[in-house]
């Protein structure tokens, strides 16, 4: 009888986990599957902290539970990557910042490897995740766009000030000649 209640409690916990992961997948803009074999607890903790700072989340999920959670989500194609111990990276905001953080960590810790991911329905292998990391982030793009938008206004302002500045220079030059 104890085993039955334990078994049902375990089933309830598994169902809760599947539901939580399913919701994370629905909310995520990008999901990346990694293999963490060989990382220490301290390294995984550091990875989780860095991913969290990049508006993401790193979680180790059993493959059977992950398969159940992937059903009826756009991330179903990641099912083929579920072999061995896997860690999941969920990105909720800027996928570029998240991928930069992940690639930097992979370069520092060779035991972590990227198996693949999905961004807006497109499958990404490790090489495509690296390409994504090389793209400018949203804040960088916003800064460039702002600079482009400000350039015509700055040029117009300079052109509007130039005739007045010429008059000032001419008057200053005449004053200098009279004082000599």
The architecture that CATH gives domain 2-135 is 2-Layer Sandwich (3.30)
What is the mean pLDDT for each group of 10 consecutive residues in the chain (180 residues)? 53 89 88 92 94 94 90 86 91 91 92 91 88 84 83 82 85 87
Query: Residue 117: helix, strand or coil by DSSP?
Result: strand
What are the residue boundaries of the structural domains of the chain, listed by start?
2-135, 136-180
Query: Tokens representing 102?
Result: 């992940």
pLDDT of the residue at 53: 94
Residue 55 — φ and ψ, nearest 5°? Answer: 60, 45
Do 69 and 14 touch, CB atoms closer than 8 A?
no
Rounded Cα gap, residues 133 and 97, in angstroms: 7
Structure tokens at 57: 């989340």
pLDDT of residue 115: 93
Whole-angstrom distance, CA of residue 171 vs CA of residue 74: 71
């Amino acid at each position: 009888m104890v085993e039955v209640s334990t078994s049902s409690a375990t089933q309830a916990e598994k169902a809760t986990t599947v539901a939580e992961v399913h919701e994370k997948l629905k909310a995520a803009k990008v999901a990346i599957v990694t293999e963490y074999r060989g990382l220490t607890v301290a390294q995984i903790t550091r990875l989780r902290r860095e991913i969290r700072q990049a508006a993401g989340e790193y979680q180790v999920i059993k493959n059977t539970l992950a398969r159940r959670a992937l059903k009826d989500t756009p991330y179903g194609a990641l099912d083929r990557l579920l072999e061995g111990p896997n860690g999941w990276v969920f990105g909720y905001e800027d996928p570029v910042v998240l991928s930069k953080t992940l690639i930097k960590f992979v370069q520092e810790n060779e035991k972590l490897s990227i198996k693949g991911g999905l961004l807006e329905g497109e499958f990404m292998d490790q090489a495509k995740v690296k390409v994504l990391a090389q793209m400018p982030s949203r804040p960088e793009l916003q800064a460039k766009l702002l600079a482009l938008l400000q350039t015509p206004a700055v040029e117009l302002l300079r052109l509007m000030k130039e005739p007045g500045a010429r008059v000032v220079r001419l008057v200053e030059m005449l004053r200098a000649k009279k004082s000599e």
